[in-house]
Structures are given as C-alpha cells and as structure tokens.
C-alpha cells in the first residue's frame, strides 16, 4: 500500500547518515505566504512579480510553473544547468541573476559556509511543516538548523541498461554480480561499447561511484584515492561513447545501451520508451554493491533580487499534491510527508524509485567534498575525458 511503502522509504532514509505527464496536479491553496500580493525585499522595496529559477534539466512537472504563475501572478523565467559544478561556479561568481536554484546537498554545505545562500524566512513558508522531520534531520548535517535549503527531489546514481541490447552484446556472458562492472570493468565495457556506453558529464557524479568501486570512501579526502580512481577510469575510457547530463533520450532511443545515470532520469527513459511503443526496455539497476544517494535542494542565492517570490514558490511546491506531482510526473521521490498519499500506487511500488529497506541500507549517504577533493576530482575527470 502506498502510504505504508512510503513510510518504509522514510525509515530507510533514516538510516542515511547525512546530509512528464499526468493529470491531477491541480494546486491546493498555497497558504498565507502566496496569498500576499507582493512582498518587500530586504531593502524594503516591493518586489516585481518575477522569479528567475535555475534548475536541472527534466526536473519539473510539465504544468508546475504555469500553475504557479496563474495562482500568484509571478512570471517565472526558467533556465537549466547540467551539473553542480556549473551552478556552484555561478554562485561563487555572484550576480547570477537567479532567485531560486537547486544545489545538491553535497555542494550546499560549502555554499552555506561561504555565505552564498540566503537564510529562509520560514514564517513565509507555512507549508514547510509538511516536510518529513526524519529527512530534515539528515539535511541538518549540511544545513544546521535547516535554515537555508528545502529538499526538492532525491534519488541515486546508478547503472542503466537497455536489457535486450545488453543481452545481445554480452552474447551469453552472464550479467555480473556487481552491476558496476558493466560500466567500470573493461571485460564488460569492451563488449558494451558496441551498443553505446554513456556517463554523466560531471566530476562529482562519476568520481564518488568510481571511488567506491575501487574500495575507497565515496567522499574521500585523500587525494591519492582520486588518482587511483582516475587510473581505473582510464582503462575504460576508450569504451565510453557519450558524456551527458541529459541522457533520457539517448537511453529511450537506444543510442546508449548502458549508462551511469540518475535513477529518476533512467526511469523517465524507461517510461518514454514504453510511451513510444519502442522495443527498448530500460532498467535502472539497484546494485547489490550499493550506490550514491543524493538530495537536490531549493535555495535562494544571497544576492537574489526576488527572494520573496522564491519563498512563495517554495511554499507553493510544498503543497502535498504539488510535491507529489514531482514524483508522479518526473519519477523523483520528495521529502514532503503530506505528499505520500498522492503518489500513484504503481510509482510507490516501483523498487527502483522507492528503494526497499534492504537496498536502502546498502546506499551511500550524502556527505560533502573538501575543496581539495573537489579540485582533484575536476582535474582527474578532465584528464579522463580527454584521454581517449
């Protein structure tokens, strides 16, 4: 049953150490904050009805922005970025022009510490109370007091396969016990290269999984560990065809038969192939060796021009049905406890979206990188990509 299953997920999430298309997403009244017609910004100046929102690609239900605009009269300018590194560079540079951004929690810690984000005024976000305290207490590790970030979607970095294509090129070689072998072990990548291997295009997406594969901590602070991961990666580099953070169509169309991707996007690709009535059968594998969990979060840049509108959007998103639409339409679970009853039963039952307790226990909880580790990751990933 939907609710019970979702509770199981939360129980699993408790074990963590740190940190479209569908009808029925009609927004509920979003509470007092969005009922206010305008809001003064920090300088006491009334905000113009504009929200500049910067999010990841393929990460918002189709009607959410239009519904928000209709309800509030706030015009949303929406742009996307492809990785945490890109967003972080904009925030560090300042004057990004964005009012609302979606950093991964693993980057949010240093962004908060560097003063790049604005403290939330929770009094303006009455729907904040819908958030699951269990997940918030985990995010408290990167955002003490939960003052700066609000969870958007969460998922894990994993291995995608196009089942028939992979079976065909493996030609009788059994699937490995460890799914990560498909993308990190030359014995498998050497075969799968003929049908296309895709990797996410960011150091912080690939290195933690690579580190873990070679037996090192996913968020290691030891630079030699990153070098060792780079050496492992160099061996499979000739077999990797595509680097992208938007691999949904590559998978759904059959252009890539194996990938390192986000489970949410892989499940969108699976659904898209079904909608297209193609014979491509995509699966997000849940590796027995575990995978890296991530939380993406809503945050307001320190120098945002329309922080009041950003808070109105956060409050809007935290309505139960609106939050549930992110899960129902974009395949990413949310941290809104009150949204649980609105998640479609078939999605709540999907074990690659909502991990069971046993799988969850194998997952690596989000932490954060030291600056040195981030620099090492960048250098090693750049070399890796070049070194074909």
Q: Which two tokens stand for residue 361?
A: 């226990």
In whole angstroms, how close is the CB of 3 to ligand SPD at the nearest point?
Answer: 25
Contacts of residue 215, defined as CB under 8 A and 6 or more positions apart, other chains included, come to none
CB nearer to ligand SPD: give 262 or 316.
262
CB of 155 to ligand SPD, least distance (A): 7
Instruction: Between 188 and 384, name the residue whose CB sits nearer to ligand SPD.
Output: 384
For residue 301, give Cα distances in angstroms to 57, 319, 370: 19, 23, 21
Q: CA angle at residue 332 from 102 to 284, to 5 degrees? A: 120
Least distance to ligand SPD, CB of residue 283, Å? 18
Count of CA atoms in the C-beta half-sphere (13 A) of 274: 8
For ligand SPD, the closer of residues 262 and 354 by Cβ is 262
Least distance in Å: CB of 32 to ligand SPD? Answer: 31
Nearest distance from residue 216's CB to ligand SPD, in Å? 18
Residue 188 or 199: the one with the smaller Cβ distance to ligand SPD is 199
Return all residues near 86 (Cβ < 8 A) that are at least 6 apart: none
């979606």: which residue's tokens?
A: 102
Q: Which residue, 204 or 311, is less far from ligand SPD as judged by CB?
A: 204
Least Cβ distance, residue 202 to ligand SPD (angstroms): 8
Least separation, in Å, of the C-beta of 373 and ligand SPD?
15
**What tokens does 118 get?**
């604005």
Nearest distance in Å: CB 265, ligand SPD: 5
Nearer to ligand SPD, 219 or 313 (CB): 219
Residues that bind ligand SPD (CB under 6 A): 56-59, 104, 205, 262, 264-265, 294, 296
The CB-of-191 to ligand SPD minimum distance in angstroms stands at 28
SS3 annotation, 153-169: EEEEEEEEEEHHHHHHH
- Smaller CB separation from ligand SPD, 296 or 359: 296
Its sign, for the CA torsion 108, 110, 113, 114, is negative
Cβ distance to ligand SPD smaller for residue 56 or 180: 56
Complex with ligand SPD: residue 275 or 341, whichever CB lies closer: 275
């Amino acid at each position: 049953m939907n609710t019970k299953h979702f509770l199981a997920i939360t129980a699993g999430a408790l074990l963590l150490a740190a940190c479209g298309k569908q009808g029925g997403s009609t927004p509920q009244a979003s509470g007092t904050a969005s009922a206010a017609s305008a809001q003064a910004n920090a300088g006491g100046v009334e905000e113009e009805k504009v929200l500049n929102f910067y999010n990841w690609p393929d990460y918002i239900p189709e009607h959410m922005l239009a519904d928000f605009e209709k309800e509030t009269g706030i015009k949303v300018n929406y742009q996307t970025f492809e990785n945490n590194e890109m967003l972080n560079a904009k925030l560090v540079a300042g004057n990004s022009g964005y009012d609302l951004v979606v950093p991964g929690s693993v980057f949010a810690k240093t962004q908060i510490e560097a003063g790049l984000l604005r403290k939330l005024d929770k009094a303006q976000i009455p729907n904040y109370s819908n958030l699951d305290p269990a997940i918030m207490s985990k995010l408290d590790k990167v955002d003490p007091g939960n003052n700066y970030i609000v969870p958007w979607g969460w998922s894990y970095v994993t291995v995608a396969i196009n089942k028939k294509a992979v079976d065909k090129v493996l030609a009788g070689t059994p699937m490995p016990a460890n799914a990560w072998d498909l993308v990190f072990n030359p014995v498998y990548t050497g075969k799968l290269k003929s049908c296309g291997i895709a990797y996410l295009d960011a150091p912080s997406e690939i290195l933690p999984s690579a580190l873990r594969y070679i037996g090192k901590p996913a968020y290691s602070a030891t630079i030699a560990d990153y070098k060792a991961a780079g050496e492992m990666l160099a061996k499979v580099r000739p077999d990797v065809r595509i680097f992208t953070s938007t691999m949904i169509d590559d998978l759904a169309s059959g252009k890539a038969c194996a990938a390192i991707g986000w489970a949410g996007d892989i499940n969108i690709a699976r659904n898209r192939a079904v909608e297209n009535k193609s014979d491509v059968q995509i699966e997000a594998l849940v590796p027995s060796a575990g995978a890296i969990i991530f939380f993406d979060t809503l945050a307001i840049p320190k120098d945002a021009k329309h922080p009041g509108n950003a808070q109105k959007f956060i409050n809007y998103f935290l309505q139960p049905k609106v939050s549930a639409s992110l899960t129902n339409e974009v395949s990413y679970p949310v941290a809104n406890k009150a949204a649980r009853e609105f998640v479609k039963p078939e999605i709540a039952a999907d074990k690659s979206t909502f991990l069971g307790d046993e799988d969850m226990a194998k997952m690596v909880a989000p932490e954060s990188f030291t600056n040195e580790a981030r620099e090492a990751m960048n250098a090693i990933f750049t070399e890796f990509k070049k070194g074909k």
